[in-house]
Amino acid sequence: MQDALTKARDCSCWSGDAPYTSYEERRVGMDGDFGEVTVLRCKSCGRFWLKYLMEYEHLSAAGRWFLGSIRPEVARSLKASQAKRVLESLEWYYRGGSAFGGKVIRTSPGQLKYWLTPFPGSSG
Protein backbone atom coordinates (compact mmCIF):
# COMPACT_ATOMS: atom_id res chain seq x y z
CA MET A 1 0.00 0.00 0.00
CA GLN A 2 2.79 2.37 0.94
CA ASP A 3 4.59 1.47 -2.28
CA ALA A 4 1.53 2.17 -4.38
CA LEU A 5 1.15 5.57 -2.79
CA THR A 6 4.81 6.45 -3.28
CA LYS A 7 4.53 5.44 -6.89
CA ALA A 8 1.43 7.57 -7.33
CA ARG A 9 3.21 10.65 -6.00
CA ASP A 10 5.89 10.21 -8.64
CA CYS A 11 3.32 9.90 -11.38
CA SER A 12 2.47 12.77 -13.72
CA CYS A 13 -1.17 12.57 -12.65
CA TRP A 14 -0.13 13.82 -9.22
CA SER A 15 0.64 17.26 -10.69
CA GLY A 16 -3.02 17.76 -11.60
CA ASP A 17 -2.34 18.67 -15.21
CA ALA A 18 -1.44 15.41 -16.90
CA PRO A 19 -2.89 15.17 -20.42
CA TYR A 20 -6.37 13.69 -20.85
CA THR A 21 -4.84 10.72 -22.64
CA SER A 22 -3.23 9.67 -19.35
CA TYR A 23 -6.60 8.68 -17.97
CA GLU A 24 -9.42 6.28 -18.50
CA GLU A 25 -12.65 8.20 -18.10
CA ARG A 26 -15.99 7.22 -16.71
CA ARG A 27 -18.76 9.77 -17.06
CA VAL A 28 -20.81 9.77 -13.88
CA GLY A 29 -23.29 12.44 -14.94
CA MET A 30 -24.50 15.86 -13.97
CA ASP A 31 -25.38 17.03 -10.50
CA GLY A 32 -28.25 19.35 -9.57
CA ASP A 33 -26.12 22.41 -10.36
CA PHE A 34 -25.24 21.20 -13.87
CA GLY A 35 -21.70 20.34 -12.88
CA GLU A 36 -20.26 17.48 -14.92
CA VAL A 37 -18.88 14.65 -12.82
CA THR A 38 -16.27 12.27 -14.18
CA VAL A 39 -14.16 9.60 -12.54
CA LEU A 40 -10.67 9.37 -13.99
CA ARG A 41 -8.27 6.50 -13.58
CA CYS A 42 -4.63 7.10 -14.29
CA LYS A 43 -3.36 4.59 -16.82
CA SER A 44 0.14 4.51 -15.39
CA CYS A 45 -0.36 4.38 -11.61
CA GLY A 46 -4.01 3.34 -11.33
CA ARG A 47 -4.95 6.18 -9.03
CA PHE A 48 -8.55 7.40 -9.16
CA TRP A 49 -9.50 11.05 -9.47
CA LEU A 50 -12.80 12.79 -9.18
CA LYS A 51 -13.29 15.58 -11.68
CA TYR A 52 -16.01 18.17 -11.31
CA LEU A 53 -16.41 20.47 -14.30
CA MET A 54 -18.53 23.60 -14.25
CA GLU A 55 -19.17 25.91 -17.17
CA TYR A 56 -21.42 28.93 -17.33
CA GLU A 57 -22.70 29.37 -20.83
CA HIS A 58 -23.53 33.05 -20.39
CA LEU A 59 -20.02 33.91 -19.21
CA SER A 60 -16.88 33.64 -21.26
CA ALA A 61 -13.65 32.26 -19.80
CA ALA A 62 -15.54 31.13 -16.72
CA GLY A 63 -15.06 27.38 -17.05
CA ARG A 64 -13.54 25.72 -14.03
CA TRP A 65 -12.76 22.22 -12.89
CA PHE A 66 -11.88 20.55 -9.65
CA LEU A 67 -9.82 17.41 -9.38
CA GLY A 68 -9.34 15.37 -6.24
CA SER A 69 -7.71 12.03 -5.55
CA ILE A 70 -10.25 9.48 -4.31
CA ARG A 71 -10.12 5.92 -3.03
CA PRO A 72 -11.08 3.09 -5.43
CA GLU A 73 -14.17 2.19 -3.39
CA VAL A 74 -15.34 5.80 -3.59
CA ALA A 75 -14.69 5.84 -7.33
CA ARG A 76 -16.80 2.72 -7.79
CA SER A 77 -19.87 3.92 -5.94
CA LEU A 78 -19.77 7.65 -6.62
CA LYS A 79 -22.97 9.37 -7.66
CA ALA A 80 -23.00 12.78 -9.34
CA SER A 81 -24.94 14.31 -6.47
CA GLN A 82 -22.15 13.36 -4.04
CA ALA A 83 -19.29 14.86 -6.02
CA LYS A 84 -19.03 18.20 -4.26
CA ARG A 85 -19.33 16.62 -0.83
CA VAL A 86 -16.59 14.15 -1.69
CA LEU A 87 -14.30 16.94 -2.89
CA GLU A 88 -14.84 18.89 0.30
CA SER A 89 -14.02 15.82 2.36
CA LEU A 90 -10.53 15.56 0.86
CA GLU A 91 -7.45 17.12 2.39
CA TRP A 92 -6.89 19.05 -0.79
CA TYR A 93 -7.79 19.07 -4.45
CA TYR A 94 -6.76 20.89 -7.57
CA ARG A 95 -8.73 23.59 -9.25
CA GLY A 96 -8.11 24.90 -12.74
CA GLY A 97 -9.68 26.15 -15.94
CA SER A 98 -10.07 29.46 -17.66
CA ALA A 99 -11.77 31.02 -14.63
CA PHE A 100 -8.45 30.68 -12.83
CA GLY A 101 -6.34 31.90 -15.71
CA GLY A 102 -5.60 28.37 -16.91
CA LYS A 103 -3.47 27.69 -13.85
CA VAL A 104 -3.69 24.52 -11.79
CA ILE A 105 -3.90 25.46 -8.14
CA ARG A 106 -3.73 23.17 -5.15
CA THR A 107 -6.66 24.07 -2.96
CA SER A 108 -7.76 23.40 0.59
CA PRO A 109 -11.35 22.25 1.07
CA GLY A 110 -14.09 24.33 2.64
CA GLN A 111 -14.28 26.91 -0.14
CA LEU A 112 -15.90 25.03 -2.98
CA LYS A 113 -19.05 27.15 -2.75
CA TYR A 114 -16.92 30.23 -3.23
CA TRP A 115 -15.03 28.78 -6.18
CA LEU A 116 -18.32 27.87 -7.81
CA THR A 117 -19.66 31.42 -7.67
CA PRO A 118 -19.92 32.40 -11.31
CA PHE A 119 -17.38 34.97 -12.30
CA PRO A 120 -15.74 35.48 -15.67
CA GLY A 121 -12.02 34.86 -15.78
CA SER A 122 -11.40 38.18 -17.48
CA SER A 123 -12.58 40.17 -14.45
CA GLY A 124 -9.65 39.06 -12.33
Binding residues (CB under 5 A) for Zn ion: these are 11, 13, 42, 44-45, 47
Of residues 45 and 74, the one with the C-beta less far from Zn ion: 45
DSSP assignment of 62-119: --EEEEEEE-HHHHHH--GGGHHHHHHHSS-EEEESGGGTT--EEE-SS-HHHHTS--
Of residues 19 and 110, the one with the C-beta less far from Zn ion: 19
Tell how strand 23-30 and strand 36-42 pair up. Answer: antiparallel
Of residues 59 and 74, the one with the C-beta less far from Zn ion: 74
> What's the min distance (Å) between Cβ of 4 and Zn ion?
11
> What's the min distance (Å) between Cβ of 15 and Zn ion?
9
